[in-house]
Structure 1
C-alpha cells in the first residue's frame, strides 16, 4: 500500500484535479460519478468534460432540501446507504466528503462504494479523523460547545459542454429545471394567499357552520393579485442547515482507512492530513486549539493535535485477484 505524506492541500481542488486526470485518460467515454453525501457540501468540478453525476445520502428534510437545490446532479437517491440503489461496477469515481464519520455501519457503506466502482476507479475520501484530538472533542463535547459544521462553499457553475450532444443535454436540463422553478414561483404565492385567507376567515369565526348550518368557503384572492405577487415575490433558497452529527466509527480514522484498504486489496495512491477544522476556528489562538493540545498531552500521543482531517485518493485495482505488496 502506497503511503504518500505531503503538506496539506485543499481536498476539494485535489479531488477535482484527480477526477479530471482520470477522465482525460479515458477519452470518448462519459465518466460516471457517485456523489456520496450529496445532501451537504459541493461536488467535483470537471469543467467541460462529459460526466453523469448520481447522488446518494441519508434522507432527512435538511439533506433533501439541499439535494433538490443542486444543479450538478443528474439523479439522486436518498435513504439508508445500505440499501439505496448503487449498481455494481457502474461508477468511475466515488466522491465521499465528510460522510464516513457520520454514516452508521460505515464499513458496510464503504463496501458498497467499492463494489459500485469500476476496476481502476477512484474512491475519493475526506473525513475527520476519529483518532485526532479534535475528533475526540467533537464526539465527547455537547453539541453547543463543539465546533460549527464545515462551511459549505459555493461551487462554480459547470462550464458548457464542448460537444453538440452535451450542449443539448445541458440546455435541456437547464430549461427543464428553470421551468420547474418558475412553476414553483407561480404556485407558492397562491398557497400563501390561500393560507392567509383561511387564517382571516378562521379568526372571523369560520370556516365553520354559519347561520344556516352550512360550511362557509374561504374567500378567494383575485387572479390579478396572484399574478402580481408571483412576479414580485422572489423564491429564496433554503437556509444552510447544520451538518448531521458525526458518529465516528472505528474505520473513520487514518489508521482505520489504512486497515480497510489493506483488507480489501485497495491502493492508497495519495494521503494528506490537514487542519481545516482547527484553522477555521483560528488555530493557535482559539480555545479549541488549546483543548486539542491538552487532550493530546493527556493521551500521551495516542490522540494527535497535528491534524483534524484526512484526505485519501484510493484506487481500485484493475485485477481483483491482484495483491497489494
Structure 2
C-alpha cells in the first residue's frame, strides 16, 4: 500500500537507500545518479556491514553540469549527453536516484523507461519533481524568469523546450507506474519550493492560491513538489490485487 505523507523534513531518499542496503548485507550496491550535474547524491556512508557502493552519474551535457561534476567526488563514473541514448546497461543498478530531472527533460516517459530497464528486479526508483499540476509548476513553465529563483534546478537553466510533460506530475507518475507494473511504496508532497524562498514565500504563495482558484481545481496550491519511492517488482509478471 502506498504511504502518502506531506512532509519535507529529513532526507527521505537517503534513508530508503540505507534501508535497501541493510536488507542486502555485504552486497556492493550500484547506484545511478540521474541529474548528476547539480546538487548532491544519496548519503550512504557508514554502512554497518562495511560494504561499498558504486555511483554512476548521467545528465544533459551543459557547461554548468560539467563544472559541477568537478565537485562530485562521490561519482565513480559519469556520462553526459542525450538521456535517450547515454549508455545504460539493463538490470545493472540497485537504485536510480533522479531528483528534479523528469520535469526538465523532453521525452520524459522514454527517459523513465530507460531508468526502469536499467534497474535490477526489486530495485528502487527515487523520483523528486516539481508537480506540473501545481500552481507553482504552472508558473514555472509559463514564466521562464521564475525558474532561476526556484530550488531544484541550476540557477542558469530555465525549463527547456519540451519540459513539464504530462508524466511530470503526481497523477502522471501514478498512471505511469500502473501502466508499467511498478509499485509506489511511498509518496510525499511538500511545499519546499515555496518555503525555501524566504521573504518571497508569502507573496508567491498568495499568487499560487489565486492561480489555483482560477483553474477551478485543475491546479493545486497545497503542494509544489512530489517525492516518490518506486519499487520494481522482483517478478515482472506479478500483479497487485
Q: TM-score range by the shorter chain?
A: over 0.9
Matched, 1:250 2:166: yes
- What is the CA-CA distance between 1:285 and the residue it aligns to? 5.5
User: Are the counterparts in 2 of residues 266 and 324 from structure 1 also a CA contact under 8 Å?
Assistant: no
Q: Distance in 1 between matches of 2:232 and 2:202?
A: 40
1:132 to 1:147, Cα distance in 2 relative to 1, 3 A: farther
Equivalent residues in 2 for 1:166-177, closer than 5 Å = none
Which residue of structure 2 aligns with residue 286 of structure 1? 202
- Which residue, 112, 115, 126 being the options, matches 1:113? 115
Matched, 1:263 2:179: yes
More helix by share: 1
- Which residue, 39, 45, 48 being the options, matches 1:47? 45
Q: Distance in 1 between matches of 2:80 and 2:166?
A: 24
Which residue of structure 1 aligns with residue 222 of structure 2? 306
1:131 to 1:116, Cα distance in 2 relative to 1, 3 A: same
Greater length-normalized contact order (CA 8 Å, ≥ 6 residues apart):
1
Matched, 1:26 2:27: no
User: Are the counterparts in 2 of residues 133 and 303 from structure 1 also a CA contact under 8 Å?
Assistant: yes
Which residue of structure 2 aligns with residue 57 of structure 1? 59
Aligned residues: 235
- What is the CA-CA distance between 1:244 and the residue it aligns to? 5.0
- What is the CA-CA distance between 1:65 and the residue it aligns to? 1.0
Q: Please, what TM-score do these two structures have when normalized by structure 2?
A: 0.92
Secondary structure, counterpart of 1:286 in structure 2: helix
Give the superposed CA RMSD: 1.8
Q: Distance in 1 between matches of 2:147 and 2:231?
A: 34
- Which residue, 246, 265, 273 being the options, matches 2:189? 273
1:262 to 1:151, Cα distance in 2 relative to 1, 3 A: closer
Matched, 1:321 2:225: no
Q: Distance in 2 between matches of 1:113 and 1:256?
A: 16
More strand by share: 2
1:315 to 1:283, Cα distance in 2 relative to 1, 3 A: farther
Secondary structure, counterpart of 1:69 in structure 2: coil
- What is the CA-CA distance between 1:6 and the residue it aligns to? 1.8
User: Are the counterparts in 1 of residues 129 and 168 from structure 2 also a CA contact under 8 Å?
Assistant: yes
Secondary structure, counterpart of 2:140 in structure 1: helix
Q: Please, what TM-score do these two structures have when normalized by structure 1?
A: 0.69
Which residue of structure 2 aligns with residue 123 of structure 1? 125
**Runs (4+) off by over 6 Å:** none
- The unaligned stretches of length 5 or more in structure 2 are none
For the pair shown, the structure with the greater C-alpha radius of gyration is: 1
Secondary structure, counterpart of 2:234 in structure 1: coil
Q: Distance in 1 between matches of 2:68 and 2:149?
A: 18
Matched, 1:148 2:64: no
Q: Distance in 1 between matches of 2:240 and 2:70?
A: 40
Secondary structure, counterpart of 1:41 in structure 2: coil
User: Are the counterparts in 2 of residues 150 and 243 from structure 1 also a CA contact under 8 Å?
Assistant: no
Which residue of structure 1 aligns with residue 74 of structure 2? 72
1:142 to 1:55, Cα distance in 2 relative to 1, 3 A: closer
Q: Distance in 1 between matches of 2:90 and 2:216?
A: 44
- What is the CA-CA distance between 1:281 and the residue it aligns to? 2.2
- What is the CA-CA distance between 1:135 and the residue it aligns to? 0.4
- Which residue, 91, 94, 109 being the options, matches 1:92? 94
